[in-house]
Structures are given as C-alpha cells and as structure tokens.
Amino acid sequence: MKILIVIALAVLIQENHATLVIKGPTKSVVAGESVEIECLYTDSEFNISQVRFEFSYDEGSIWFEVYERSTFCALVVYRTSERLVLRLRAYSYRMSMYRCVSEAENVTAPNNASEPWALKVEFMSDLTLSKEGYTKYLGIPKELSVRPGDDVVLTCSARSSEEPSYFWNKEGSDWNLPSATMMLRKVSKADEGQYSCTAQHPLVESLSKKSSVKIIVLEEDAPWYQSTDGRLILMTSASVAALLVLLLSMTVFLCRRAKRARTIKGPIDDHSQKKPIYKSSSESLPSSCEDKHPLV
Ligand SMILES: *[C@@H]1O[C@H](CO)[C@@H](O)[C@H](O)[C@H]1NC(C)=O
Ligand SMILES: *[C@@H]1O[C@H](CO)[C@@H](O)[C@H](O)[C@H]1NC(C)=O
Ligand SMILES: *[C@@H]1O[C@H](CO)[C@@H](O)[C@H](O)[C@H]1NC(C)=O
C-alpha cells in the first residue's frame, strides 16, 4: 500500500514538473486593486523572450492572446531578462484564467505552456431595491407613498462575488432587521420614515453598499391614485390607451388609402379580375377592412 502511494506520488510529481511557471497573488484581490502576474522558466535552458500571456473566460476551453500593446483596459505587459510580467487592474469582468505559452518552435510540451492560474476578484455593485407588486424594470422611486393598512414588502439585492449579508434599518431608531427582505404589515402613520438596506461582502469589509427609501403613509381618505402603486397603474393605462388610439388611427388611415387606390385602379385595370386574390395579399385588405369601418 505504502509503495503504491509512493509510486503514485512520484508519477504526480513527474507530471506536474513544468518548467514554465506562472505566479500571481495567492489570495483573491479586491476590485480596483492592481495585480501583477508573472511568468518565468525555472530552467535556464529556456528563454522567456518568446513567451506570451493568454487568458480564458471559462475554465480554459478557449484561450485568447493578451496583446502587449493594448493600452486599452489599463493593462501592461513587460519583460525582464528572466520574467514576463502582466500588470492589470482587477475588475469583476477580469475574473478569468491566465497562462503563459511559448511560441518557440523547438520548445514542446510540457515546457511550452504553464499551468492555468485563476484570478479571483472580490467585488460588489448595483445594489437595487424592489417592491413586491411593483415592476422590477423601473426601480422603485426614492419616496414610496402607501395607503394605510397596506402591506409593504421591500427586497434589496446586490451583484457580488460572494453572497452578501443584508440588513435593514430605520433612521432615528435602533430597529435592525438582518434580512434582504423587509415586510411591513398593515402600515400606519407610525411606520413612516427613511429605511435603508445595507449589503456587506462576507470577506472584504470595505465592500459594502447602502440604499434607502422614504416611506410616506397617506391619509385614510386619500384617493387610490396618490399611492406609488396607483400612480404606476395610472401611468401604464395611459400609455396603453395612447398606443391603442395610435394603432386604431393608423388602421383607419391605411384602410382609407387602400380603398381609394382600389377605386382608382378598378375600371382601368381589366386584368385584375383574372388574378387570384390571396388572403394575405394587399388586395384582400380593403374588403376585410370595409366590413369593420364603413367609410360613409
Ligand atoms: C533570449 O533570446 C533573445 C533572442 O531571441 C536574445 O536576445 C536573449 O539574449 C536571450 N536571453 C537569454 C537569457 O538567453
Ligand atoms: C531553441 O532555439 C533557439 C534558437 O532559435 C536557441 O537559442 C535555444 O537554446 C533553443 N532552445 C532549446 C530549449 O533548445
Ligand atoms: C505545446 O506543444 C505541443 C506539442 O509538443 C502542442 O501540441 C501544444 O498545442 C502546445 N501547446 C500550446 C499551448 O501551444
């Protein structure tokens, strides 16, 4: 058994023996920080001058060359006599795999490429608040007017490299809710105030985002359309109505035009009678419109 392990270990060491080595930060880096990745040959028999960097968006199924002269993207590649160095600013989109590859013809596997190395960037962005029953596409306004007795459910979420911890608090009170979702049941005037949600990255203390919303509770006799939800309904129905009117007037206009064209064309063009009329062709359009919109 012991011998087997020793043999397995020896095989492993043999296979991992790559002379082209890539090195980078051993811990994950925080978005915005500068990162240095370097390649070197552990064996002086090989020359670094024909080595370049490559990166992959996934686990290394497709590799792309890192162009040394791309000043775009805040990226610098330089060489010393023994090293090839890549310096870049860490961003969330730069989370990817890197490796070094030799272009020299007389260098073969495994010396022509390093092991892949993964850049892990910790980041947090785009904290958004959403309200149950309110469209996700608009984002909720900074001031929410609600009717007394309504339930208010607000959820906050951030884009982050690790699932953040969330908490809600209310300005001027020591109320604190350790959750992404805040639920106010049957709101009354006492619930009015400025509420904030904070998202905290679990590994990096400096990565945190905060967003707040003011909740205003309307009077008992306030009409429904004064609430934020009511205003949204009103706005949506107004746009739908405007769209319908537009569609209707366009249909009427097109029908009239088509009918006029037919009455002019009719007596002159004798062949029109012999032509088959397809259901979807423009010539079948006037008759179908005529039924619905008499033009007298
Ligand atoms: C590597 O090769 C280049 C030419 O391809 C040469 O100028 C340079 O001196 C070589 N470096 C070493 C360390 O051998
Ligand atoms: C590869 O060829 C270059 C000359 O083109 C030579 O300087 C270098 O020593 C060779 N490397 C190996 C590993 O044979
Ligand atoms: C390394 O060399 C081998 C042949 O020895 C080749 O098949 C392989 O594609 C090369 N790797 C890279 C990354 O160019």
Q: Model confidence over 118-155: pLDDT tens digits?
A: 999 999 988 999 998 887 777 788 999 999 999 999 99
pLDDT exceeds 60 at position 59: yes
Higher pLDDT, 259 or 185: 185
User: Cα of 190 to ligand 2 centre, how many Å?
Assistant: 80
**Distance between CA atoms of 210 and 206, rounded to whole angstroms?**
12
Residue 12 maps to a domain: no
The DSSP 8-state label assigned to residue 27 in this structure reads: S
pLDDT exceeds 80 at position 294: no
Among 122, 146, 171, identify where a domain stops: 122
| Claim to verify: residue 34 and residue 118 sit in the same structural domain | yes
Among 223, 246, 275, identify where a domain stops: 223
**Distance between CA atoms of 211 and 81, rounded to whole angstroms?**
51
| Claim to verify: residue 160 and residue 196 sit in the same structural domain | yes
Sheet holding 152-160, edge to edge: 124-131, 152-160, 181-184
Residue 242 maps to a domain: no
| Claim to verify: residue 146 and residue 213 sit in the same structural domain | yes
The residues lining ligand 1, judged by C-beta closer than 6 Å to any ligand atom, are: 47, 49, 81
Atom of ligand 3 nearest to the CA of 99: 13
pLDDT in tens, 216-257: 999 988 888 888 888 888 888 999 999 999 999 999 999 898
Among 223, 245, 276, identify where a domain stops: 223
* CATH number of residue 36's parent domain: 2.60.40.10
Taking CA atoms only, the protein residue closest to ligand 3 atom 6 is 109
**Distance between CA atoms of 175 and 279, rounded to whole angstroms?**
68
pLDDT exceeds 80 at position 199: yes
**Distance between CA atoms of 286 and 255, rounded to whole angstroms?**
6
**Which tokens is 277 given?**
């009329």
**Distance between CA atoms of 273 and 255, rounded to whole angstroms?**
21
- Name the nearest CA neighbour of 153 among 223, 222, 213: 213
| Claim to verify: residue 87 and residue 150 sit in the same structural domain | no
Among 212-216, 242-246, 289-293, which is the least confidently predicted range? 289-293
| Claim to verify: residue 27 and residue 112 sit in the same structural domain | yes
Q: Are strands 181-184 and 64-65 parallel, antiparallel or unpaired?
A: unpaired
Residue 97 maps to a domain: yes
Q: What are phi and psi of 130, to 5 degrees?
A: -135, 155
Domain count, the chain: 2
> Does residue 127 contact residue 210 with C-beta atoms inside 8 Å?
yes
| Claim to verify: residue 22 and residue 106 sit in the same structural domain | yes
Atom of ligand 3 nearest to the CA of 108: 5
| Claim to verify: residue 115 and residue 168 sit in the same structural domain | no
Taking CA atoms only, the protein residue closest to ligand 1 atom 10 is 47
Residue 60 maps to a domain: yes
Atom of ligand 2 nearest to the CA of 107: 13
| Claim to verify: residue 73 and residue 93 sit in the same structural domain | yes
pLDDT exceeds 80 at position 102: yes
pLDDT at res. 110: 84
The dihedral over CA atoms of 67, 68, 69, 75, expressed in degrees to the nearest 10, equals 90
Residue 205 maps to a domain: yes
| Claim to verify: residue 48 and residue 105 sit in the same structural domain | yes
96-93-116 Cα angle (round to 5): 5
**Distance between CA atoms of 93 and 170, rounded to whole angstroms?**
34
The DSSP 8-state label assigned to residue 113 in this structure reads: B
- Expressed as residue numbers, the domain containing 26 is 18-122
| Claim to verify: residue 118 and residue 140 sit in the same structural domain | no
